[in-house]
Structure 1
Amino acid sequence: MSALCLLADIGGTNTRVALSRSGKVLHGSVRHFPNAEYASLEPVLRRYIAETGSEPPVAVCLAMAGPVRDGVGTMTNLDWTLNTDTLAKATGARTVTLLNDLQAQGHALGHIPADALYPVIAGPPPRLDATQLVIGIGTGFNAAPVYSTANGRFVPPAETGHVTLPQRSDREVTLARFLERAHGFASVEDALSGRGLVALHEFACTEAGAPERPVLRGKEIMTAVAAGDPVAREAAAYFCRLVGAVAGDLALTMLPVGGIFLIGGMSRAMAPYFVEMGFIESLRDKGRFSGFMEQFSVTVVSDDDAALTGMALHLQSLLDLQ
């Protein structure tokens, strides 16, 4: 039997852990753990192994929301630092690899069930050698290109969420100044994330002359959007247009003729509103290159565990080389 592998997708809020063999996630092995209940990742993995009664894994692949360098990664929205040496001791695995979470998502493209793909801008089936782009919007924001090479799939790391938020109109400049009050710098993630939607709603309240309205959580805002609340819908429209603008900038940078894929909880929540709230127009609003932008398809991925699929495939490719 092929080697047993352990997978962990560490987000800002929850960690998903699973087992895999031969590049496939084992059915029924996925478990979710709330990060707030743990001081670090090691006890999460030990608990998972103990509760499942699984044999010690030969290899471990971890995907985290934060930058990774030389086997060490620091979470962006969580006070955890991951070290491959420490995690090898905690799990007993001889091979431990650490990825940025968007890298894991990139490795999953092409292996996601069709019923988990929601087209926003339809397009032809991508060529196998075409560059793709995965954009994650959830607790945080990030994006990464996906390249097919002679040596297999290559997904470089990135920290796209911390670049400057686009500011073209007077209102967008005003929004940036509003967001700067918290950190002194208006990044993409400050607007396009779970907490970003909360900030956009506060801004919409201020613009509507009602700054005293109670601060709503993300789910409450989306409920208000569905109910037709004008201020909540304005906040959602800000969100959709800004996602389009950022995705358009990234498309011109990466040229993902194989498609743009939006993943994460906020992408799924906004999927029903992208078309009506200006996402497509904003993505294509690039002056004399507006026509050029029409070639990029956009798809929302609803499979919340797609990163686990990507990690299983990536880990198996590493084991095949050993």
Structure 2
Amino acid sequence: MAERDSPVLVADVGGTNTRVALARGRTLVAASTERFRNAEYSGLDAVLQAFLERHRTLPERAAIALAGPVRGTQAEMTNLGWQVDASALAQATGMAEIALLNDLQAQGHALAHLPETHLRRLRTGTPEAGPKLVIGLGTGVNAAPVYAAGAGHIVPPAEAGHIHLPLRGDMDYRLADWLIARRGFASVEDVLSGAGLARLYAFHAQEAKTGRTFDAAQIMAAMEGGDALAQATGRHYVRLLAHVTADLALITLPFGGVYFIGGVARAFAPWLERFGFESAFTDMGRFSDLVTRFPVAIVEDDYAALSGCAAYLQAH
């Protein structure tokens, strides 16, 4: 069997769970995907060793997506406390080559290979060949452009969730002042992450002088139940998300489409049309006609990061 047809190991390391699978080419091997609870293991090396022992295999190559900053062969899981070193991991597992990717980079490598059934289209735009933009909304917020390059793609790392929150109108400026007083800075992640949604609700509760605090799950349930304060928070969230997305789109010109990933994005999917995402996204003044051309979709594939790791290995 040719080396490039040999099975490879792919993994997606989150704050709570790690998914691991085998892949051939860009295709995950049927029934090979397993989920491990990180709290039950001392580190990623122990997770991978358990997987390899169970499957009685030792692939030569691996690609691992991590929810944290990656610098070359080093990564830090900020919400988990794991330090990951590719060389040490290779030595511990016996694999010859291990590549580390930020989880958003892995999602970017998957975009070109996702079937239409794994996408929820929000707007069709005018799709054409060109860069794509992937935006992650979950425990954190990040975004990265995806550029075609030879047989694969280039997905540069970024920390786009830490940029300034776009502000329009008195309420946004009051929100920014409120965030600065509590966070020292009014960033996109401070509002659009899961914890950020809870902050946005707390701001609206203060504005309404109710003093209530809800977490993200409670807010979503209250929105579904018709609660006025929760729905006002949701509308504000959707408008800010649309403005951030349009700003990033004007930077990257994603004629190939904008793709949201992450649990918060999927949770808000039914509310985006209802709360005016389209009108806010295209409200960019003299640049509105340009922004209108960009397609937007939500990725509904929980295993896209694993497929992205496989695509990365196939191209490298």
Specify the TM-score bucket, using the shorter chain as the normaliser. over 0.9
Task: Name the structure 2 match of 1:41.
Answer: 44
Is 1:71 the equivalent of 2:73?
Answer: yes
Shift of residue 34 of structure 1? 3.1
Q: In 1, are the aligned partners of 2:125 and 2:292 still within 8 Å (CA)?
A: no
1:250 aligned to 248, 251, 256, which one? 248
Shift of residue 124 of structure 1? 4.6
- Aligned letter for 2:105? Q
Shift of residue 280 of structure 1? 1.9
Shift of residue 46 of structure 1? 1.9
When residues 245 and 12 of structure 1 are mapped into structure 2, their CA distance, relative to the original with a 3 A threshold, is farther
d(CA) in 1 for partners of 2:307 and 2:152? 16
Q: Counterparts in 2 of 1:83-162, with a 5 A limit?
A: 83-127=85-129, 130-150=130-150, 152-162=152-162
Task: Name the structure 2 match of 1:315.
Answer: 313
Q: Counterparts in 2 of 1:1-322, with a 5 A limit?
A: 1=1, 2-50=5-53, 52-127=54-129, 130-150=130-150, 152-211=152-211, 213=212, 215-318=213-316
d(CA) in 2 for partners of 1:84 and 1:207? 48
Matched positions, count: 313
SS of match in other structure, 2:62: strand
Shift of residue 289 of structure 1? 1.0
Shift of residue 136 of structure 1? 0.8
Q: Percent identity?
A: 46
Q: In 2, are the aligned partners of 1:74 and 1:81 still within 8 Å (CA)?
A: yes
Runs of 5+ consecutive residues of structure 2 not aligned to the other structure? none
d(CA) in 2 for partners of 1:54 and 1:182? 51
SS of match in other structure, 2:9: strand
d(CA) in 2 for partners of 1:309 and 1:182? 39
- Aligned letter for 1:121? R
TM-score in terms of structure 1 length: 0.92
SS of match in other structure, 1:176: helix
d(CA) in 1 for partners of 2:164 and 2:42? 31
Shift of residue 157 of structure 1? 1.0
Shift of residue 266 of structure 1? 0.6
For residues 111-165 of structure 1, give each alpha carbon's deviation from its aligned partner in whole angstroms, at most 9, with x where no partner exists: 11212211111135543xx111111111111111111124631111111111121
- Aligned letter for 1:29? S
TM-score in terms of structure 2 length: 0.93
For residues 215-255 of structure 1, give each alpha carbon's deviation from its aligned partner in whole angstroms, at most 9, with x where no partner exists: 32222211111111111111211221111111101000000
d(CA) in 1 for partners of 2:182 and 2:21? 37
When residues 40 and 235 of structure 1 are mapped into structure 2, their CA distance, relative to the original with a 3 A threshold, is farther
Q: In 2, are the aligned partners of 1:244 and 1:279 still within 8 Å (CA)?
A: yes
SS of match in other structure, 1:19: strand
SS of match in other structure, 1:102: helix
Shift of residue 20 of structure 1? 1.0
d(CA) in 2 for partners of 1:197 and 1:210? 17
- Aligned letter for 1:180? I
SS of match in other structure, 1:56: coil
| The 10-residue stretch of structure 1 (63-72 or 32-41) with the greater mean CA deviation from structure 2 | 32-41
SS of match in other structure, 1:187: coil
d(CA) in 1 for partners of 2:267 and 2:133? 20
